Amino acid sequence: MSVPGSSFSRRLAAIAITVGALVLAGCGGDSTDTSTSKPSKITIAAVQGNEDAALKAIAPLYQQQKGIQIEIVEFPYDQLFEKLVTTFQANAASYDLVMMDDPWMPKFGTGGWLTPLDSTFGFQRDPDIPSIVYDVGTWPPPHGAVPPAAKGQEAHLLGITIVGNVEMFMYRKDLSDAPGSWDDVLANAKKFNKGNMAGYVVRGKATNPVVADFLPILWSFGGDVFDDNWNPVIDSAESLRAVEFLVKDLKSVAEQGAENVDAADRSRLMAIGQAYQSTVWPGEITEIVENESVSKVGGKVGYTPIPSGPSGKGFGMMGNWLLGIPKASKNGQAAADFIKWLTSPEVQRQYVAKGGIPSRLSLLNDPALNEQNPYFAALAKSLEAGPNWRPRTDQWNAVETILGTNLNAALAGQVTAQEAVQKSAAQIKDTMSQAGYYG
Amino acid sequence: MADPIAHPVGPARPAPAPARAGRREASERRLSLLLLWPVLGVIFAVAAYPFALAVRQSLSAQTGEFVGLDNYARALQNPLLYDALEATGVYALLVLPTEIGLGLGLALLVHRMIRSTAVKAVIFVLAVVPLVVPPVAVGVIARLFYAPGYGVINQVLMRVGVIDHEIGFLSNPVLAMLSVASVDVWQWTAFVYLVLFAGLQTVPRETTEAARVDGAGGWALFRHIEFHYLRPLFVLILFFRMADVLRVFDHVFILTGGGPGSSTLLLSLYLYRIEFKFFDDGQAAALAVTVLVVVSVLYSLVIRVLPVEKG
Amino acid sequence: MAATLLRRRGRPLAWLVLGLTGLVYLLPLYWLLVTSLKSKAELYRGTVTLYPHAPTLEAYERVLVERGFWMLLRNSLLVCGATVLVTLALGLLITYPITRLRASPRLRQGVLNRALSLRFLPPVAVVIPYFAVVRTAHLYDTPQALILIYSLFNLPFAIWMLKGFLDEIPAEIEEAAYTDGGDRWTVFRRVLLPLAAPGLLASGIIVFTFTWSEFLFALILTATPRSQTFPVGVQGLVTQFEVIWNDMAASGAIAMALPLVLALLARRYLVAGLTFGVIREK
């Protein structure tokens, strides 16, 4: 018993260390994925909500046919972007496929986080799909302003569209004709803004929602966020007019609490007959507005491309959701096979039957399908007319946060439209300058 | 004089047998060092390594090159920082007095008016409930009350006819702040109540009775007797709650995400936004390091006043 | 005089105040439960119903099975359980020398003080550097990363609680065992540990309750149901693209259930838990 303590200390430490080791080693550990040619499971990171509903519905079919399990991990919109960036930064193999909103492409492309689909997996352009759809998944972008850092790089296809979203316009066709211009929209809104019904639903929630709602209006009025050299022009005269149109004119005939309304509320208001018109994404149409189990206005809603503004044109906005393959994924080939399967014409038909939004013109112009999905014709028209896309900058998330916060504040009456655009222009300029856009 | 705060009389050490006192002491000391130092060392390393990483990140640009205090300067020049500090300050001013006032009032009420132990037990159980509901769940509940469109407060008020259109709880900056503050009050007043109630239990019955016999009214009773027992508790509550206000995140994140605009962008949410929305690693690290240093400094000042064991 | 008058008249007033307070506390919980029992169709009505007209468990089933939240539950149980084990083990390793051995008082004070300071740190300031560590160590999207940081954050609490419990056990009991010829290890195992067991249990339950609710680190450090915990799932249902309030409410109710039960079991120690053992129920 000369050193009674040492055996004690040894034992106690041994127990603690064993416990710790067991705990750390026993739970999971880094799954050693020996890259077999056929994995048992593919993991897709997807956006929570209407947009991935069809994907979730069609995935079991793949399992049946090919025997590979599809795991879909969902996140709300904002979080999906953050989660993807953090996962890419961690170079983790957590996801084999990622669902991306097209404005995120620049950041992912610049970061070099996605596997080129054309050179690595042999994807080619299918003539049945409008070329703009492929353009939106290509980095650097084939037309429009290109960030200075990406100029001269070889263009690669990084994402394939699985949700052929183009922002459109919906209105109660049983109450009036289609609006041809935003002046018509305002006139109709004033006429029908009474009682329970809002003349126009403003999707005003801060950052992404309000910006998505606003950009078509901005472009139709002849304004824009950037010029060709990435200088902000959100404070130009046309842009200011567009902002005023949103926060004054449309707001005056809009629903209460517009500053907090997002897409789901907007469609819900339409579905229960408390809204007259608004911009809309096709996903909302299939899941809510034309969904018999929840909608009271089925068959009463008409769909058109975005009305024209003082610029003379109406600019639809692309909001495609694409599937891409992270470089860090261990199941690249299996992921590519899945994409090819999903976008093949036969599967696309079943995809549409489950509420999916195709980008194949053959399906969009199919009369039978048009009966069930009345907006297909409008969607085809919008795609062929060449819709606009959001500025192709890897700083878009920051820009959208700035613009969205200021627009939201203007909607809430906290600042004037003038102040909102000036603040936005200054903050955006600062961000772009920090990111090295001005040399 | 009973004291609610645990002041132990010092470590209970088995007294060594007199014959082997010296050897026992030495081996004990050796054992304690053997046990303590490696563990403490590992813990320190685990805690210090990220801090060192953060410091390095705060001094570098996105590309990795050393830029000195540039990130700190940018952090201080960011106007949003001051919005965040202001929001945090307003939040603290809203919740702290309310929670302390309500908690004290309820504690006094129950202590003086309620005799039945069964009722007190029930109240105790009820008070425990809000404290252990996960903040995300509280956030969900708050959304069910305040959210536009389906928030039940608006629905009920409209149904009854008090208002004819929705109150923008989450879209009006003032109301949004009140909404998130109300959630905090709902959750943490119980904490104040429990602590103060325990404190009131330690006030000796005889002293109170004697004072009453002498004709002391409710207020005098409080001021001269009860407050004396509660004062260290107030200090403790104040500091714990203030620290918590700096850490608040979950329910605000769910309820408003920092909006509208930046009116509920509390400090934690601000740091989150810089790191995970703007992906500005350098600025976020600079902010994190600053916050950690400031909190540590404040803590070492505060600990002297806190009624805890000083060893 | 006024005092006794107040006391007599005041009693019904006191009951009223207490009743209202009780209502304010129970109403939100009631509403959560009620919403979780509504069907999807009922949510789409024009006006909100104050009680479920056709109560159904479909939301719970959808949350746990269709959305796969049972995996998140499993992860939460795993992470919290492991954290409790690690924290208690390390906590004992640290408090035993402090309370039973001749550790210098300065060391004891230093450890306790530093431990308490962690209670005051904003987690978001820690998550930013910790994320960098997780990245380098390839621990992204693993339960281990969470267990590690949770243990770190809860260790100070465990230290303070265990110190308090150990301090209360009189030295004489162990002394008697020593004179009976026992060595330190046996005394520890057979005498001290059983006496400290209630304290260990209470601390363990409180640590479990705290880590169960943790959200921020789980949000940032996990990516798939391999390691995501339940609170992450709850937050994920708060989305504005769909009207799924009943699912949202159901997930909130499930998240609440376990900590509620545990806390009621260990309620005597809850205040101690929240004040780091500074305030102890005797």
- The model's pLDDT over A257-283, given as tens digits with 9 standing for 90+, comes to 777 788 878 888 888 888 898 998 887
Min Cα distance A40 → chain C (Å) is 15
Q: What number is the average pLDDT over the span B155-168?
A: 82
Contact C140 A12 (CB under 8 A): no
With bands split at pLDDT 50, 70 and 90, how would you rate the model's confidence at C74? very high
Other Cβ atoms within 10 Å of B159 Cβ, number: 11
Which amino acid belongs to residue A30? D
Mean pLDDT of C179-190: 77
* Mean pLDDT, range A115-127, rounded to an integer: 91
* A16/C140 Cβ within 8 A: no
CA distances from residue B169 to A201, A248, B165, C116 in whole angstroms, order as listed: 19, 21, 12, 37
Contact at 8 Å (CB) between B57 and B282?
Answer: yes
Residues of chain C with Cβ-Cβ distance to A15 below 8 Å are 89
What average pLDDT does the segment A326-344 reach?
A: 93
Higher pLDDT: B84 or B298? It is B84
**Res B231 pLDDT > 90:** no
Give the separation between CA C246 and CA C237, rounded to whole angstroms: 10
Instruction: State the average pLDDT for chain C.
Output: 84
Mean pLDDT of B93-99: 95
Indicate the domain borders of chain C: 70-274
Q: Which residue has the higher pLDDT, A257 or A234?
A: A234
**Which chain C residues are closer than 8 Å to A27 by Cβ?**
78, 82, 143-144, 147
The CA-based angle C223-C74-A29, given to 5 degrees, is 55
pLDDT over threshold 90, residue B226? no
Smallest Cβ–Cβ distance between A92 and the set C90, C223, C242 belongs to: C223
Letter for the amino acid at C189? R
Q: Are B28 and A260 a contacting pair at CB < 8 A?
A: no
pTM of the model: 0.83
Length of chain A: 439
Average pLDDT score over residue span A3-7: 48
Band of the pLDDT at B37, cuts 50, 70, 90?
confident
Q: Of the candidates A98, A54, A71, A56, which has an alpha carbon nearest to the alpha carbon of residue A351?
A: A54
Q: Does C243 touch chain A (CB under 8 A)?
A: yes
What's the pLDDT band for A10 if we cut at 50, 70, 90?
low
Cβ burial, residue B49 (10 Å; 0-12/13-18/19+) = middle
Q: Which of B277, B280, B281, B283 to mutate to test the interface with A (most CBs of A within 10 A)?
A: B277
Q: Would you tell me how many other CB atoms lie within 10 Å of the CB of residue B178?
A: 16
CA distance C86 to chain A (A): 6
* Two structure tokens written together for C194: 């059983």
Which residues in A lie closer than 8 A to residue B148 (C-beta atoms)? 256-257, 260-261, 265
Task: Name chain A contacts of B168, Cβ cutoff 8 Å.
Answer: 256-257, 259-260
Whether residue A265 lies within 8 A of chain B, CB to CB, comes out as yes
- B9 has a pLDDT exceeding 50: no
Contact B36, B28 (CB under 8 A): no
- Residue A160: pLDDT band (50, 70, 90) is very high
CA dist A423 and A96 (Å) reads 40
Name all chains with 3 or more CB-CB pairs below 8 Å to chain A: B, C
Q: How far apart are the first and last CA of chain C?
A: 35
pLDDT at position A314 over 50: yes
Contact B171 A258 (CB under 8 A): yes
Q: How far apart are the first and last CA of chain B?
A: 21
Q: A29 pLDDT exceeds 70?
A: no
pLDDT score for C42: 77
pLDDT score for C240: 52
Most confidently modeled range among B284-298, C35-49, C96-110: B284-298
For residue B131, tell me if it sits in a domain. Answer: yes
Helical H runs in chain C? 2-36, 40-43, 58-61, 69-100, 105-117, 123-136, 143-168, 171-179, 184-186, 193-213, 216-221, 230-236, 245-265, 270-274
Q: Which one of C86, C219, C240 has the shortest CB-CB distance to A262?
A: C240
Interval C134-148 mean pLDDT: 90
In terms of C-beta density within 10 A (0-12 exposed, 13-18 middle, 19 or more buried), how is residue C130 classed? buried
- Selecting from B27, B165, B173 the residue whose C-beta is nearest the C-beta of A256 gives B165
**pLDDT above 50 for A28:** no
Entry field: residues in chain C: 282
> Per the domain annotation, does B161 fall within a domain?
yes
> How many residue pairs bridge chain A and chain B with CB atoms within 8 Å of each other?
79
Residue B113's CATH number: 1.10.3720.10
Instruction: Give me A188's structure tokens.
Output: 């109709």
For position B1, what pLDDT does the model report?
A: 38
Residue A288, pLDDT score: 80
Name the residue facing B28 among A5, A12, A259 (closest C-beta).
Answer: A5
Phi, then psi, of A71 in degrees rounded to 5:
-105, 120
Go through the domains of chain A in sequence order and give each one's CATH number.
41-164+319-384 (3.40.190.10)
Q: A74 and C41: CB-CB below 8 Å?
A: no
CB A283 within 8 A of CB A163: yes
CB contact under 8 A, C240 and A95: no
Per-residue pLDDT at A73 exceeds 50: yes
Judge whether A359 is closer than 8 Å to chain B, CB to CB. no
Q: What is the pLDDT of residues B178-205, one digit of tens each?
A: 999 999 999 999 999 999 998 888 888 8
Confidence grade of residue C276 (pLDDT, cut at 50, 70, 90): low
**pLDDT for A252:** 87
Give domain status of residue B30, yes or no. Answer: no
Q: How high is the pLDDT of residue A7?
A: 57
* Residues of A whose CB is below 8 A from B278: 397-398, 401, 431
Query: Who wins on pLDDT, A6 or B250?
Result: B250
Tokens of B248: 């608040």
* Yes or no, beta carbons of A82 and B276 under 8 Å apart: yes
B269 in a structural domain? yes
Which pLDDT score is estimated for C279? 66
Whole-number average pLDDT of chain A: 85
Tokens of residue B195, six digits: 């602590």
Which pLDDT score, from 0 to 100, does residue B10 have? 47
CA distances from B22 to B27, B227, C185 (A): 9, 48, 20
**Percentage, residues of chain B above pLDDT 90:** 27
Find tokens 């690690």 and name the residue.
Answer: C86
User: Residue A68: what pLDDT?
Assistant: 92
CATH assignment of C70-274, among 1.10.3720.10, 3.30.70.1050, 2.60.40.2470, 3.30.1780.10: 1.10.3720.10
pLDDT tens digits along A129-151:
888 889 989 999 888 888 888 88
A contacts of C190 (beta carbons < 8 Å): none
Contacts of B121 (CB under 8 A, 6+ apart): none
Q: What is the pLDDT of residue A8?
A: 61
Q: Which domain, by its residues, includes B283?
A: 84-302
Pick left, alpha or beta for residue C277 (phi over 0 → left; psi -120 to 50 → alpha; otherwise beta).
left
Q: Say how many domains are in chain B.
A: 1
Question: In the predicted model, is pLDDT for residue B168 greater than 90?
Answer: no
What chain A residue is nearest to C146 in terms of C-alpha separation? A24
**B77 close contact with A: CB closer than 8 A:** no
pLDDT over 60 at A425, yes or no? yes
CB contact under 8 A, B35 and A260: no
- Min distance A50 CA to chain C CA atoms (Å): 7
* Residues 81-100 of chain C whose Cβ lies under 8 A from any Cβ of chain B: 90, 93-94, 96-100
DSSP A71: E
> Do C248 and B308 count as a contact with CB atoms less than 8 A apart?
no
Best mutation site among A15, A51, A56, A73 for testing chain C: the one with the most C CBs within 10 Å?
A73
Is residue C46 within 8 A of residue C243, CB to CB? The reply is no
User: Residue A319 pLDDT > 70, yes or no?
Assistant: yes
